[in-house]
Structure 1
Amino acid sequence: MEGILLLCVALVIITGFGISGTATTITTYPDFQELHVKQTIASASAATKLYKEEDDDGGSESGGARWKVKVVHRDKIFPQAPYNKSSGSNSHHHHLFHARINRDVKRVDSLMRRLGNSKLVVNSATDFGTEVVSGMAQGSGEYFVRIGVGSPPRSQYVVIDSGSDIVWVQCQPCSQCYQQSDPIFDPAHSASYSGVSCTSTVCGRLQNPGCHAGRCRYEASYGDGSYTQGTLALETVTFGRALIRNVAIGCGHMNRGMFVGAAGLLGLGSGPMSFVGQLGGQTGGAFSYCLVSRGDVGDSTTGSLEFGRAAMPVGAAWVPLIRNQRAPSFYYVGLAGLGVGGMRVPISEDVFRQTELGDGGVVMDTGTAVTRFPTLAYQAFRDAFLQQTANLPRVSGVSIFDTCYDLNGFVSVRVPTVSFYFSGGPILTLPARNFLIPVDDKGTFCLAFAPSAAGLSIIGNIQQEGIQISFDGANGFVGFGPNVC
């Protein structure tokens, strides 16, 4: 991965700016870094090829303290459209980009509605309680893991979502199911499947449980009206060779939505029904992940998701997690400011603070792709970036991006760094490919941030890519590793 990841306290004064149109080496400046244009475009195009699945390495059974599974980007497993030679590769990349952004807009809209306590109506044929509003909009989950469900285990791709508090997969008999890549899970063929009774304490942990024929019923609805409904059950989940027994999962018999081939969802929120919450004392609420970059291809281009206390390397920075009673499932962090080219942008810290009523604040979210800032903060940040990229050829905006460049013909360019200033001192400086991304294969790159009319800020997965991120829920911290992973 190009770029560097720095965690520091001191600021460095800006020294210069330049562009390279040849393959010659560019002098490295502290506040600038190199973005390999041609390599990034080629990687983004190659990333649409199907991912070759390999066996995951597992740990011990549930008596152990750690489990690990590979993480892959959605577009590597389920390309959105076949390559069309007559229209050229650009149409394929263009389609992927706009499909991703459309899902992302729905995701963000869903988060905003959830935090605004808006009511979303679920279009369903059965009525067993009020709707549960999830943070995930239709198909917006960006990353997948391969897990086994049942005994014997049936392999399933599921979306990982740090904003959701339920684990579910589509199940037979299926009165309404969307298309997925794997065969739909059939609990009748699993020796470890056990339905949960309506009177059990597990059923009582659901936000809005229902009851049918003595069995606990769950429902999760989404920002665009898609949903999953079914029976809550206890089942064995397999991560590689590691078995975790008696996991409460939703067995969805009635599901609607376009989840891009996934069988369901692995909720990683901080609530009691999420996978993290259910592991509880076995892992101390600790898990870590590394999201592989969209353009990375090859044999070693899978990320990782690990549960349990993994030792962070020397030089990692820990940032306190902030609780929000209105949204206890979300992971809030204290963001104090933004930097461009080693210079802090003049933005008041109050823009990023959570109010006493739980409004605003900054959420880290694996399901949102593009980072959002309140409009005034975004504009100040964008203007600072524009000022320091005045020599780059500009083009009109694309989709939700208003700051784009024509880098066609350049081998590489030197761009100013982009940094997050966290409360308490740590500074996270992003790799160049985590904030300037290709939106086609013709050389159009855009600044991968967007404004939000609401006060909520969201740190999306594009900005998290390639960085080792560890959550210590028991002690209330999130850690950022000092190197790319």
Structure 2
Amino acid sequence: MAALKLLVMMVVVHLLGGAVTTTTTTTTKHAASTKPGPRFQVFRVRETISGSKTRPAKTTSYQESSESNQKFEGKWKLNLVHRDLLSSTNLSDHRRRLDERLKRDAARVVSLTRRLSGGHGDAAMYEVEDFGSEVVSGMDQGSGEYFVRIGVGSPPRDQYMVIDSGSDIVWVQCKPCNQCYQQSDPVFDPAESASFLGVSCSSTVCDRLENAGCHAGRCRYEVSYGDGSYTKGTLALETLTFGTTEVQNVAIGCGHMNHGMFIGAAGLMGLGGGSMSFVGQLGGQSGGAFGYCLVSRGTGSYGLLVFGRGAMPVGAAWISLLRNPRSPSFYFVGLAGLGVGGIRVPISEDVFRLGALGDGGVVMDTGTAVTRFPKPAYETLRDSFIAATAGLPRANPVSIFDTCYDLSGFETVRVPTVSFYFSDGPILTLPAKNFLIPVDDGGTFCFAFAPSSTSLSIIGNIQQEGIQISFDGANGFVGFGPNTC
């Protein structure tokens, strides 16, 4: 592991518009003393506008596994789709889709900030009459942006599931459904599954839930989300199927009362760092390894979710995961600084530091869209970007975006690079489409970062799109590359 970390500290990664290059340096502390990356890149304006109206064909069954056996032996891959695929929202109405996305994003950020910045405990925040003293409150995570399709039960019933890197519960809507939102597939009926097994209140699995509830001898759960969505029901052990690969005895929530904006999904697959998440339950079977590539807006293609050894690509640049004692479910990373045009901007590393009590820090989150930085760091980044784009025509602010451009008269433009300088050494330079996003169909683009009112920073899914990201939970690393996708 020491050798691996030394290698990590010697790698500088540049991801530019689909190209990845790797160079080495003798630096062992910070990337600030390494060779600067490219200063500018070409942004294809027309291609980005037309691409934002494209959607892939709808998935009709869960993805075939990369292994043909009936038990876990290494890896499998699943297609990832964005929630717009399942939404009834008019695809051509780009501004409406953006407004809805930013509303969800705002709720997500509020909930993360409340959870990670020393707010009241979840049980104190969410009191639901139906549970009374038996309420078990989950983390207030929001309803997610990306979906996979898997089989639930025996025989397997196809279901869309939201993925969430900051949640630790796997759950599906279940019959009898006292209250259910509308989903794309028939609601799961545990009576029709030969592998469904309810969890008793005395079970060690029930003990893993914080403040677990009990009713008629059955373990009860509840998860409340920042946008007002929730699920509550009983805990059970069930078989989940990925193509031809079966994973047995997965602890899932069987939700009999559910409410929210889950856009057709049957439930949620938590991928957080806790023991009750799907990754945590796989344990030694997967080595705590998983990875994803979030589909880029407008590519007309699917993203990928990978478990096991297939999630650990050779040649990736690895940085350390940081453990937050306040909330171990989240994936925190050490960010040392930011760069514009190949030059590190003057921001103190202390702005991004995770405090000893779990305050501040930088979390990677699949459910947040727009990356947030504390206001002083954001303003410095923004002002540096504005100075480097002085030749581009400006447009009025849009929603949370205060820096926008009118690119309606351009086919392509030359823009400065934007980079993340990580504490372990690597520099991640974003493709231009990951920080300049269209906000209408007429050529208005905005700088896709926003200020945070607290010390918490969040690396959102817009900045993660199209980049191969892998998590090695057992050894405490997250990797980028070596390929874009």
TM-score under structure 1 length normalisation: 0.90
| Shift of residue 313, structure 1, vs aligned partner | 4.3
Q: Equivalences for 1:264-303 in 2 at 5 Å?
A: 264-297=267-300, 301-303=301-303
For residues 343 and 366 of structure 1, the distance between their equivalents in structure 2, rounded to whole angstroms, comes to 28
The answer to whether 1:117 aligns with 2:119 is yes
SS in 1 for 2:64: coil
Match of 1:151 in 2: 154
Report the counterpart of residue 104 of structure 2 in structure 1: 103
Aligned-residue offset at 1:78: 1.7
**1:34 correspondence with 2:42:** yes
Q: TM-score, normalised by structure 2?
A: 0.90
Q: CA deviation at 1:206?
A: 0.7
The equivalent residue for 1:19 is none
The change in CA–CA distance for 1:53 and 1:7 in structure 2 (over 3 A counts) is farther
Superposition map of 1:420-459 within 5 A: 420-459=420-459
Alignment partners' CA distance in 1, 2:256 and 2:311 = 40
Q: In structure 1, what residue type is equivalent to 2:43?
A: L
1:148-187 aligned at under 5 Å gives the runs 148-187=151-190
- Aligned to 1:108, what secondary structure does the other structure show? helix
When residues 228 and 416 of structure 1 are mapped into structure 2, their CA distance, relative to the original with a 3 A threshold, is same
Gaps of 5+ in 1: 14-29, 84-88
Instruction: Determine the C-alpha separation between the residues in 2 that align with 1:79 and 1:7.
Output: 39
% identical equivalent positions: 66
Cα distance change of structure 1 residues 447 and 66 upon mapping to structure 2, 3 Å threshold? same
Superposition deviation, residue 356 in structure 1: 1.2
Q: Secondary structure at the match of 2:474?
A: coil
Does structure 2 retain, via aligned residues, the 8 Å contact 1:154–1:185?
Answer: yes
C-alpha distance in 1 between matches for 2:382 and 2:223: 37
Q: Which amino acid aligns with 2:53?
A: S
Write the mapping of 1:65-464 to structure 2, written as runs, cut at 5 A. 65-75=74-84, 77-82=85-90, 89=92, 92-115=93-116, 116-118=118-120, 119-137=124-142, 139=143, 141-297=144-300, 301-310=301-310, 312-464=312-464
Task: Provide Cα deviations, 1:9-60, integer angstroms capped at 9, x if missing partner.
Answer: 53438xxxxxxxxxxxxxxxx311111111111111123x763446512123
Structure-2 separation of matches of 1:478 and 1:256 = 33
2:80 matched to 1:43?
Answer: no
Match of 1:61 among 65, 70, 80: 70
CA distance 1:437–1:380, shift in 2 (3 Å): same
What amino acid sits opposite 1:117 in the alignment? G
Q: Is the 8 A contact 2:295 2:466 kept in 1?
A: yes
Equivalent residue letter for 1:95: R
Separation in structure 1 between the aligned mates of residue 210 and residue 81 of structure 2, nearest angstrom: 30
> How far is the alpha carbon of 1:447 from its aligned partner?
0.9
**Distance (Å, rounded) in 2 between the aligned partners of 1:319 and 1:106:** 29
Residues 123 and 274 of structure 1, relative CA distance in 2, 3 Å threshold? same
CA distance in 2 between partners of 1:260 and 1:57 (Å): 24
Letter aligned with residue 42 of structure 2? E
Residues 395 and 7 of structure 1: CA distance in aligned 2, closer, same or farther (over 3 Å): farther
Instruction: Tell me if structure 1 keeps the 8 A contact 2:136–2:210.
Output: no
Distance 1:431 1:214 in 2: 53
Q: Deviations over 1:376-395 (max 9, x none)?
A: 00000000000001111111
State the AA in 2 paired with 1:35: F
CA distance in 2, matches of 1:302, 1:256: 27
Helix, strand or coil: the match of 1:310?
helix
Distance 2:348 2:240 in 1: 46
* Matched residue type, 2:427: I
Query: Per-residue deviation at 1:341?
Result: 0.6
**C-alpha separation between the residues in 2 aligned to 1:40 and 1:324?**
37
- Whichever residue aligns with residue 36 of structure 1, its letter is R
Query: C-alpha distance in 2, partners of 1:462/1:224?
Result: 20
Equivalent position SS for 2:52: helix
- From the superposition, tell whether residues 135 and 420 of structure 1 become closer, same or farther in structure 2 (CA, over 3 Å): farther
Checking the alignment, whether the CA contact within 8 Å between 2:149 and 2:160 is kept in structure 1 is yes
Cα offset, 1:361, TM superposition:
0.4
Deviation at 1:256, TM superposition (A): 1.2
The one-letter amino acid of 1:163's match is G
Q: 1:276 to 1:311 in 2, by over 3 A?
A: closer
How far off its partner does 1:355 sit? 1.0
* 1:266/1:198 CA distance change after superposition, 3 Å: same
Equivalent in the alignment of 1:25: none
Deviation of 1:453 (Å) = 0.6
Paired residues in the alignment total 455
SS of 1:324's partner is coil
The amino acid of 2:176's aligned partner reads P
User: The residue matched to 2:125 in structure 1 has which SS?
Assistant: coil
Cα distance in 2 for partners of 1:326, 1:397 equals 36
Once residues 311 and 189 of structure 2 are traced to their aligned partners in structure 1, the CA distance between those partners, rounded to angstroms, is 38
Local SS of the residue matching 2:109: helix
Report SS of the residue matched to 2:366.
Answer: coil
The amino acid that maps onto 1:179 is Q
Runs of 4+ aligned residues of structure 1 deviating over 6 Å after TM superposition are: none
Deviates more, 1:53-62 or 1:460-469: 53-62
Supply the RMSD in Å over aligned alpha carbons. 1.7
Rate the CA distance shift 1:145–1:311 in 2: closer, same or farther, 3 A: closer
Q: Match of 2:249, SS?
A: strand
Aligned residues of 1:203 and 1:209 also touching (Cα < 8 A): yes
Give the letter for the 2:87 counterpart. P
SS in 2 for 1:381: helix
Matched residue type, 1:439: V
